[in-house]
Amino acid sequence: MPPLISIRNVSFAYDGELVLEDVSLDINQGDFLAILGPNGSGKSTLLRLILGLLKPQKGHIYLFGQDQSRFKEWWRLGYVPQRATYHVDPVFPISVKEVVQMGRLARKRFPRFFNKQDEEAVIFALKKVEMLGYLHRKISQLSGGQQQRVFIARAIVCEPEVLLLDEPTTGIDAASQERFYDMLLEFNKTGLTIVIVTHDIGIVNKHVRQVACLNRKLVYHGTHEEFCSSPKLAEYIGDHHLVIHRH
């Protein structure tokens, strides 16, 4: 099968400062890929380029075999941003159901009305993340880990083929992180391709099968085991904190 996402010789700069340089990477059906790298290495920028939120200044991105510039079926990509990029207003009375329901808009044309099929999809997505019991709870009343599960439900409610997550467990306690990644592993086992950006894989390394290591350029792409035993690892890490041990 051709790659679901193919990145070819992509470069990108902010205000003339190069963040990504000549990056080429394929993401295949069924991958559970961790994109690693220190702060400022271009990890989040790469996700935004894949999602079309930024445009490559050099190179090309292909989504499901189609040039990104012509791609229209964005619902096939689910996205969970960094928790730091969204703020849950404690006063705004939006419910869990309404948050997840918004994820259905990606597959709708104007006028956008919700129907019974949408409601069934919301219930199914919340069941998958074990949050159905909170259907009518205000999102602001949930813990950080519970909120993140709801945002996962919003990302998968359109049944995407790829789920992209950017530092999804920042600010979540260790026990909740473990359960969170166990949940992602179950999704992956059912065929969902998962790409997760992180700077610390100490909690996920028993789940991921592939590693892409960024530091402006693509330093490494291969299996987790090969990465841990590669001499490139010591060269890359230096003083950066990357936990790579298996549990």
- Look at the chain and report how many structural domains it folds into: 1
Show Cβ contacts of residue 237 under 8 Å, excluding neighbours closer than 6 positions.
none
Phi, psi of 90 (to 5 degrees): -65, -15
Predicted pLDDT at 237: 53
Residue 242 lies in a domain: no
Predicted pLDDT at 199: 75
**How would you write the pLDDT of the chain (247 residues) with one tens digit per residue?**
889 999 999 999 999 899 999 999 999 999 999 998 888 889 999 999 999 999 999 999 999 999 999 999 999 999 998 864 455 565 667 899 999 998 988 877 766 778 899 999 999 999 999 999 999 999 988 988 888 899 999 999 999 999 999 988 877 777 778 888 889 999 999 999 999 998 766 666 677 889 898 999 998 898 877 766 666 555 555 544 444 444 4
Residue (of 191, 171, 176, 145) closest to 30 by Cα position: 191
CA–CA distance, 19 with 73 (Å, rounded to integer)? 28
Residue 244 lies in a domain: no
Residue 41 lies in a domain: yes
Residue 243 lies in a domain: no
Residue 47 lies in a domain: yes
Residue identified by tokens 């990029």 is 85
Q: What is the DSSP letter of 10?
A: E
CA–CA distance, 219 with 184 (Å, rounded to integer)? 26
Length in residues, the chain? 247
Predicted pLDDT at 239: 46
Phi-psi region of 216 (alpha: psi -120 to 50; beta: other; left: phi over 0): left
Predicted pLDDT at 85: 46
For Cα atoms 45, 180, 144, give the angle at the middle one, nearest 5 degrees. Answer: 80
Residue 177 lies in a domain: yes
Residue 247 lies in a domain: no
Residue 246 lies in a domain: no
Give pTM, 2 decimals.
0.87
Range of the domain at 161: 5-237
Residue pair 176/149 in contact by the 8 Å Cβ criterion:
no
CATH of the domain at 10: 3.40.50.300
Distance from chain centroid for Cα 145:
16
Residue pair 230/70 in contact by the 8 Å Cβ criterion:
no
- Count the alpha carbons within 13 Å of 22 in the hemisphere toward its beta carbon: 1
